[in-house]
A and B are shown apart, each in its own frame.
Chain A
Amino acid sequence: MSTIDTELNTDAESEADLAESTSATATNYSEIIYNGIWKNNPALVQLLGLCPLLAVTSTVVNALGLGLATLVVLIGANIAVSLIRNYVSDAVRLPAFVMIIASFVTSIELIMQAYTYELYQILGIFIPLIVTNCAILGRADAFAARNPALPSALDGLMMGLGFMAVLLVLGAMRELIGQGTLFSDMQLLLGDVAINWKIEVFKDYPDVLFAILPPGAFIGLGLLIALKNSWDEKAKAIAEKNQDKSEKQDRRVRVTG
């Protein structure tokens, strides 16, 4: 995928984010949470990290595995970048950030290889590719490089959760439409506890290959984005309506004695 391309975009985007981030330097934690999960969701709004998002979300377990890995890398990288932010010059900041992210990804890869070997094999190339996930470098440059460690960690957590939530919804959608099941093979990630978690929603379901193959991911993500936009518009309309009402009430002037 055109990761380099998008990274350049994130540079431009980071400028736009700058104003937002600096306003958050007053550590407005609720703002950070709202941004990460909803308003500035990395998958639905920033459209970052689409390559793994589209490629591995064919089942819930794949989505959860990659979501968790990304989450851990995002938090770790954000904290590390935030700690060194005053010691690296601007010219070498991006290579430094990439080195930090790469070392985190390598650790995660080794951990997954050790504890969830089958899932590691299913996810394959997409675990090392977390390095190139633009959401991580984007957050490191746009937020962690300008903020103290604690807000950066929270930002990493929330962005990671927002990303993972979209991965999970998309994974569930595609698994349900593609295979007619939910939570199959969860034992690959969670151990023997989850061996009976598989729900067969439809009996005798013919596999809809389209949903499992990448085109299904594109259409699924498109529908999710459309859904979010329509919700936001509705919320906006309601908010405006309420504002109008309150304004009208304010304008009322007592004319009677």
Chain B
Amino acid sequence: MALLRITSPHTQRAGHRTSWVMQMVILATVPGLLVQTWLFGYGTLINVLIASITALISEALILKLRKRSLSFFLKDYSALLTGLLLALAIPPIVPWWLTVTGVAFAVIIGKQVYGGLGNNPFNPAMVGYALLLVSFPVPMTQWLTVSDLSLAQQTLPFIDSLKTIFSSGISNIDAYTMATPLDAFKHKEGLMSEEAFASVAALGQANLDAMLWVNLAYLLGGLFLIYLRIITWHTPVAILAALFVITGFFYIIDISNAASPWFHLTTGATMFGAFLIATDPVSSCTSNKGKLYFGAGIGLLIYIIRTWGGYPDGVAFAVLLMNFAAPFIDYYAQPRTYGHKKARKGLKTGANK
């Protein structure tokens, strides 16, 4: 039986199973995690801890209900990764029950209800994120700011982080929080772009730099994954290129009100979404050509939601919407099979013409 143990695709070297892939993706989030902790305080670390524990418990619970092997599925690290990604996406000071709700929903409804790993049509972490954003918009849009810009002139201390997460919070939390640059830009209330960048505190250089560092850290993690050939370049490059093109277009025609492509590429969850979320092998497209369409769709949707939508950042909804379209794209983007002149296009039933 030893020969039959690895199923296709045979692109990975021997021994590179699901658990290895998941471990490497977890490793790729480490730079981002460190930068977020450095800039915004210990909240992210505490959230990661809560999310990991919740993810493992909810996964174990459902596996038990579904009478599946506990140790086999828990050891593939997929639940842990879902929890970790969600914890990185949410603000560092949300109450603990919010993290628990989101992660449990992501693992149970987002993944296990569809049949577990490999059967989920949507990215589980983003399902959890969307639930939280729709249900609790106030805590989900309250971000910490960097120490230079905050009234307290420091990042939130460890004890205060614990207090805001596990009890009713601290009284001077407002001294540490501020809108994210995207949020502030969205609500610039008639100011011209230039004035907004000059006068709105949340659009200050320190805040922009912070978001730039976070995005660079995730870019580093993403490049690491491409180097290991866990993800291909197609999806992230298509996302970033589409976002660059559409932001550039609107920046050129309406320079006084739109933000520059650089702003859109380096704030919010752009890199995180492009390299770690959209590249989920289960819920994205499979063929290289399909990945390009898939990524381009996400890039366009990110800009559309950021600019004309109701929420400051649109990565989660963009990814979920394109997850809907992924099977459809796959039908129209099948690669040419070796020995055939043309690629098959679309869903053909009956005789193959």
Binding site for B on A (CB under 8 A): 206-211, 213, 215, 219
Contact = CB atoms under 8 A, between A and B. Distances in A.
A210 B109 contact: no
Best-buried of A208, A211, A213 by chain B (most CB within 10 Å): A208
Contact of A213 (B101, B109, B134, B136): B134
5 contacts: A206-B136, A207-B135, A210-B134, A210-B135, A213-B134
Best-buried of B101, B109, B135, B136 by chain A (most CB within 10 Å): B135
A39 to B, nearest CB: 25
Nearest to B95: A206
B131 interface: yes
Interface in B109-143: 109, 131, 134-137
Contact of B134 (A206, A209, A219): A209
Contacts of A210: 131, 134-135
Contacts of B135: 207-211
A16 B301 CA distance: 45
A206 B137 CA distance: 11
Say what secondary structure dominates the interface of chain A: helix
A49 to B, nearest CB: 24
A209 B135 CA distance: 4
Contacts of B136: 206, 208-209
Give the size range of B's interface with the partner: under 10
A219 to B, nearest CB: 7
Contacts of A211: 135
Nearest to B136: A206
Contacts of B101: 208
Contacts of B134: 209-210, 213, 215
Nearest to B101: A208
Nearest to B97: A206
Nearest to A211: B135
Interface string B239-283: 000000000000000000000000000000000000000000000
Contacts of A207: 135
Contacts of A209: 134-137
Nearest to B135: A210
Interface string B136-167: 11000000000000000000000000000000
B169 to A, nearest CB: 13
A92 B131 CA distance: 48
A65 B109 CA distance: 30
Best-buried of A206, A207, A215 by chain B (most CB within 10 Å): A206
A209 B137 CA distance: 9
A205 B102 CA distance: 16
B114 to A, nearest CB: 12
Interface in B149-199: none
Nearest to B132: A210
Contacts of B109: 219
Interface string B305-337: 000000000000000000000000000000000
Contacts of B137: 209
Nearest to B105: A210
Interface string B96-107: 000001000000
Nearest to B98: A206
A209 B139 CA distance: 13
A219 B114 CA distance: 13
Nearest to B109: A219
A213 B135 CA distance: 9
A209 B136 CA distance: 7
Nearest to A215: B134
A33 B110 CA distance: 37
A229 B196 CA distance: 57
A128 to B, nearest CB: 29
Interface in B60-117: 101, 109
Nearest to A222: B113
A172 B101 CA distance: 20
B119 to A, nearest CB: 16
A208 B131 CA distance: 9
B334 to A, nearest CB: 31
Contacts of A213: 134
The 8 A-B pairs at the shortest CB distance, nearest first, are namely A210-B135, A209-B135, A208-B135, A210-B134, A210-B131, A209-B134, A206-B136, A219-B109
Contacts of A215: 134
A63 B134 CA distance: 23
Contacts of B131: 210
B294 to A, nearest CB: 24
A208 B101 CA distance: 10
Given A208-B136, A209-B134, A211-B135, 13 more contacts: A206-B136, A207-B135, A208-B101, A208-B135, A209-B135, A209-B136, A209-B137, A210-B131, A210-B134, A210-B135, A213-B134, A215-B134, A219-B109
A125 to B, nearest CB: 23
A210 B326 CA distance: 25
B336 to A, nearest CB: 39
Contacts of A219: 109
A206 B134 CA distance: 13
B60 to A, nearest CB: 20
A206 B101 CA distance: 12
A193 B101 CA distance: 37
